[in-house]
Amino acid sequence: MNPEPNAVDAVIDAVSAVFMAVGALMSLAAAIGLLRFPDLMSRMHAATKPQVLGLFLLLAAVGLQLRTWWVWPVLAVAWIFQLLTVPVSAHMVGRAGYRTKHLHKELLSTDELEAVVVKAAKAAREEEEDDGGNHPPSSAIENR
Amino acid sequence: MMELVLTVTAVALALAAAGAIIRIARGPSLLDRVLAADVLLAILGAALCIDMAVNRHLNNLMLVVAISVIGFIGSVTVARFVADRREQPNES
C-alpha cells in the first residue's frame, strides 16, 4: 500500500508539528489581545481564538501523532463539547458586560442592541401609562 | 524535530499564561478577570494537548474536557451575578 512509509511518517509528523506550533501561537495571540485591547468586547474577540481554533489544531495534532482511526471520534466529541459551551459563556459574559456598560460606545461601529433596548423601554413606559390611566376608574368601579 | 516544536510551544504557552495572569491581576473589572481566567484555562488545555501529541498517549483527554466544563460553569456563574462596582463607569 504505502511504498515509502518513512516518507509518509515524516509528512504526518511535519503537519502535526505545524498544527502544534500554530495552536500555541493562538494562545499567545489571545494573551497579547487581552493585554493590548481597550475594552471588554474586543478582549472577548481575542479570547475566542485558543478556545476554538487553537483546541481544534491541537486535537488534530494529537490524532495525527497517534495514527489510529478510533481516536478521531473521541477527539471530535471533545471539540464539539467545547464548541457548544463556548458560545453560551461568551453570550453570558457579553450580556453582563453590555448591561453594566463595560464598553466604549465611541469604539463601536454599530450598536444593534441599543435600538432594541430603547424600543423595549418605550413599550414598558407606555404600558405603565396605560395602567396609570385605567387604574382610577377600575378601582372606582370595584369600590362601588 | 519534536524537541524543537516542544520548545517553541512551551515558550509561547508560558508567555501567553504570563499575559493572562497579568490581565487577571490588573484587569479593572470583574468580567475582565473572568475572561482572562477562561483564557488561562484554555492555555492549560493546550499544554495538556501538546503533552499528549508529543508523548503519544491519550491520558489527558478527560482532563481537557473537564477543563472546558470548569471554564464554562465558572464564567456563566460569575457573569450571572456580576454588578458594576467600578469607581469610574467607563475606565474599562
Helix/strand/coil (H, E, C) string of chain A? CCCCHHHHHHHHHHHHHHHHHHHHHHHHHHHHHHHHCCCHHHHHHHHHHHHHHHHHHHHHHHHHHHCCCCHHHHHHHHHHHHHHHHHHHHHHHHHHHHHCCCCCHHHCCCCHHHHHHHHHHHHHHHHHHHHHHHHHHHHHHHHC
For chain B, residues with pLDDT lower than 50 are none
Q: Are residues A77 and A118 in the same domain?
A: no
Interface test with A, best of B4, B9, B21, B23 (most A CBs within 10 A): B9
A25·B76 Cβ contact <8 A: no
Which of A50, A37, A57 is closest to B42 using CA atoms?
A: A50
Provide ipTM, 2 decimals: 0.85
Which structural domain, as residue segments, surrounds residue A25? 5-103
Task: Please check whether residues A116 and A98 belong to one and the same domain.
Answer: no
Q: In this structure, are A31 and A90 located in the same domain? A: yes
Q: Report, in angstroms and rounded to the nearest whole number, the Rg of chain B calculated over CA atoms.
A: 16
Question: What's the pLDDT at A142?
Answer: 44
The grid coordinates listed for B16 are 501567553
> Looking at residue B87, what is its pLDDT?
56
Full pLDDT tens readout for chain A, 144 residues: 555 678 888 899 999 999 999 999 999 999 999 999 888 888 999 888 888 999 999 999 999 999 888 999 999 999 999 999 999 999 998 888 888 877 777 778 888 888 888 888 889 888 888 876 555 554 444 444
Search chain A and give the residue with CA nearest B81. A96
Instruction: Check whether residue A99 and residue A114 sit in a common domain.
Output: no
> Chain-centre distance of CA B86, in angstroms?
24
Are A78 and A36 in contact by the 8 Å Cβ rule? The answer is: no
d(Cα A90, Cα B79) in Å, to the nearest integer?
A: 9
With contacts defined as CB-CB under 8 Å, which chain A residues touch B71? Answer: 51, 85, 89
Please count the structural domains in chain A.
2
Is residue A39 domain-shared with residue A95, that is, in the same domain? yes
DSSP state of A109: S
CB contacts, 8 Å: B82 with chain A = 96, 100
